[in-house]
Structure 1
Amino acid sequence: MLRVRCLRGGSRGAEAAHFIGSRLGRVFTGWVQRTFQSTQAATASQNTCAADDNKATNPVPKDCPVCSYNEWDPLEEVIVGRAENACVPPFSVEVKVNKKNNNFKWKVVQFLYMQLKLCSAQRMVFTHESMYAAMPRDILLVVGNEIIEAPMAWRARFFEYRAYRQIIKEYFNCGAKWTTAPKPTMADELYDKDYPIRSVEDRHKLAAQGKFVTTEFEPCFDAADFIRAGRDIFVQRSQVTNYMGIEWMRRHLAPDYRVHVISFKDPNPMHIDATFNIIGPGLVLSNPDRPCYQVRLQQNRNWFILVCLDHPLWMSSKWLSMNVLMLDEKRVMVDANETSIQKMFEKLGISTIKVSIRHANSLGGGFHCWTCDIRRRGTLQSYFD
């Protein structure tokens, strides 16, 4: 049985929940009905494991609700975000560097953003300078029975963790480990204010030289820059993840896990899951526009090159088709419009569950971004020895 937790402030949770529920039968009994309730209300009705706020918690149970070691074991519980209260972040240097086209005016983006009509989304007049809490994958990394809160690198996303605190407390009270990475001060020194934002060619050169808009002033990383494969975890140095953040994660997870830094020919590296996505033992989706500099990995015959459709809006990549959610090794959730990747999965013997997610894509992510798998049925293994 697959359990889905839909949080206010995420993506298209209700739509996704109804769709998966219709495909998988009894999957969301008791959850879909509460999709549009606040997380606090849902938690209050479900929180059978939580101790009273003024009392010590119970001993850690054997059956912890949080347990996930990779991206492909059978999925049993997942957080799905929602789009309410989303807004456009301030156009500061760390946001500006990920802009696709220098001639694409930010005011136009704001207008297009506000015109999006998602079935499960609500528009509002925003009064703050935050962005959204739309993508749990960006801020939450599950490693085994531990939930790690990423510190984030954009000032507009600093307070995003608050949207998930209630549900994380519930998991903690049911036995999960809960770690919050050091919160950065978001000082000016964390950003290269003079980072040149010119042509794509210039940015290719800067990235190849290891120059990014974020400095090494203090640790920062987004959880979506990490991809899990049992004892091996792959990460990239990007515009939002610095080496200090990677080193913090390496020390924190040692000795049980090995953190590997890999790099790509990418002018605006930001989140690894539309560039390098491990979907099963020996199966890796690789982005042909962003080849991996570690040649030995590219020589693996099980890497697959995808040809995908372009995507219209500023916040998104045309490679979001590879940003998929594996339900298990033989089932994958893909965009209903992406026929190329559907055919590729079918040739591999993997069934595709097709969902239209185009408008959610335009907010900046695909199925992998909009979800965070909390529990998968599997054990810790080493796939790269």
Structure 2
Amino acid sequence: MISNNEWDPLKKVVVGVADNAKIPEIDISVRTVNYSDKNDSELKDVVIGPYPNEVLDQANEDLEVFCNFLIKEGVEVLRPNKTDCGYYNYCPRDTVLHYQGISVPAPMALKVRKEEYRSFGHHLENVRLIEYDHKENLYDINCVGNKKVLAINESNPAFDAANVVRANDKLLYLVSNSGNKKGAEQIKEIFNVDVCLLEDVYSYMHIDSTVALLRDGLMLVNPSRIKSKESLPTEFRNWDMVICPEPFDIGHFPGYCNASAWTNMNLFSVNPNLVVLEEHQHDLRKELEKHNIDCAMLPMRQARTLGGCFHCVTLDLERDHY
């Protein structure tokens, strides 16, 4: 099963489930990686435990609509088991880097997510495990209230798979609270591929609300983070950029917010001329249509609540490659 980029015609994909999603107890990894923007007083307002049933029901309804659309497009859709893993099985993108026919469960920054990939591990064929055990000295409490300090240091490799987007012979890697430079080096060693670092643009977590690769040589960028081509690593500065318009904010469930409005640029490519986009993002749809990219406008009502839209909730295992 080969999927070496973000845009070739989709054949097989894992789509997440919202069942049993919860906010974990706050250990040092959760404190620094997820909540570095909150002071100790604000942290007391974080609700621990299962998400409200209304959130989970709506999320599962929208995931089902998404799956049915993909099936009609001729895609084989696989789902995780509905396990209680301590976090959620909603975003398989976060947990496994699939490239060159190899599936690598990531040494994720959040300790609670270490075994999360097992809910869909039975769908993976060629798994390469990384042995890791993150110690407390990986996490830098000085990141709290300071965006210039990342949650994780370079004491050992750590990354979420969603810190990466694939572009055939090279990968674009966001250095952030959920991925350090040693993590990028580890990826390079595993795949023997150029791993191009995107640095100093966004500290919070994953890359896919900052950059989306639409096809070879064309990317969608978040202008609040990518100010110019000079923000990109040299290897990507010859790509054309579509500037994402200000997103329509779909809001979030009261008391639960795990993503900014920019998660609504978190699209998913079915092929180079068709993407799935959150149903209210019509300004972005118009921009993409200028580049001959059609948009399937589908609901994802709890994207900000749960922290993931269409790219996050998928893991593409197979695309036609040429």
> What code does the residue aligned with 2:139 have?
Y
Residue of 360, 363, 375 corresponding to 2:318:
375
* Regions of 4+ moved over 6 Å: none
Paired position in structure 1 for 2:262: 319
Q: What's the offset of the Cα at 1:309?
A: 2.5
Deviation at 1:319, TM superposition (A): 0.9
| 2:22 corresponds to 1:87 | yes
Return closer, same or farther for 1:129/1:91 CA change in 2, 3 Å cut-off: farther
Change over 3 Å in CA distance of 1:68–1:377 after alignment to 2: same
Of structures 1 and 2, the one with the larger relative CO (CA 8 A, separation 6+) is 2
Q: Distance in 1 between matches of 2:283 and 2:303?
A: 20
Q: 1:241 to 1:133 in 2, by over 3 A?
A: same
Change (3 A) 1:79 1:295: closer
Among 159, 164, 184, the alignment partner of 2:115 is 159
In the other structure, the counterpart of 1:197 is 144
- Is the alpha carbon distance of 1:284 and 1:371 closer, same or farther for their aligned partners in structure 2, counting shifts above 3 Å? same
Q: Percent identity?
A: 29
Secondary structure at the counterpart of residue 245 of structure 1:
helix
Instruction: Give the TM-score normalised by structure 1.
Output: 0.69
Cα drift, residue 349 of structure 1: 1.4
SS of 2:162 mapped into structure 1: helix
Could you tell me which residue of structure 1 aligns to residue 222 of structure 2? 287
For 1:87 and 1:378, how far apart are their aligned partners in 2? 37
How far does residue 186 in structure 1 lie from its aligned partner after superposition? Answer: 2.3
Q: CA deviation at 1:301?
A: 6.9
Q: Distance in 1 between matches of 2:222 and 2:211?
A: 7
Aligned to 2:5: 70
Query: Partner of 1:116 in structure 2?
Result: 55
Determine if contact 1:235/1:262 at 8 Å carries over to the other structure.
yes
TM-score by length of 2: 0.81
Structure 2 residue 151 is matched with structure 1 residue 213: yes
Cα 1:261–1:298 shift into 2, 3 Å = closer
C-alpha distance in 2, partners of 1:346/1:136? 28
* 2:297 counterpart of 1:354: yes
CA distance in 1, matches of 2:113, 2:49: 21
Q: Assess if the C-alpha contact under 8 Å between 2:197 and 2:233 holds in 1.
A: no
Task: Please give the secondary structure, in 1, of the residue aligned with 2:112.
Answer: helix
Residue in 1 that maps onto 2:77: none
Q: Give, in angstroms, the shift of residue 218 of structure 1.
A: 2.0
Structure 2: stretches of 5+ with no match in the other structure: 62-83
The Cα shift of 1:144 comes to 2.2
State the shift of 1:318 in Å. Answer: 1.2
Provide the rounded CA distance (Å) in 2 between the counterparts of 1:120 and 1:290. Answer: 28
The question of 1:338 aligning with 2:286 is answered no
Number of corresponding residues: 288
Looking at structure 2, the residues matched to 111 and 143 of structure 1 have their Cα atoms a distance apart, in angstroms, of 34
In the alignment, the residues of structure 1 paired with residue 151 and residue 7 of structure 2 have an alpha-carbon distance, to the nearest angstrom, of 33
What SS does structure 1 have at the residue aligned with 2:187?
helix
Gap change, CA 1:298 and 1:181, over 3 Å in 2: closer
Q: Which residue of 2 aligns with 1:261?
A: 197
Q: Which residue of 2 aligns with 1:235?
A: 173
Residue 68 of structure 2: aligned partner: none
RMSD: 2.5
Structure 1 gap ranges (5+): 1-65, 123-127, 380-385
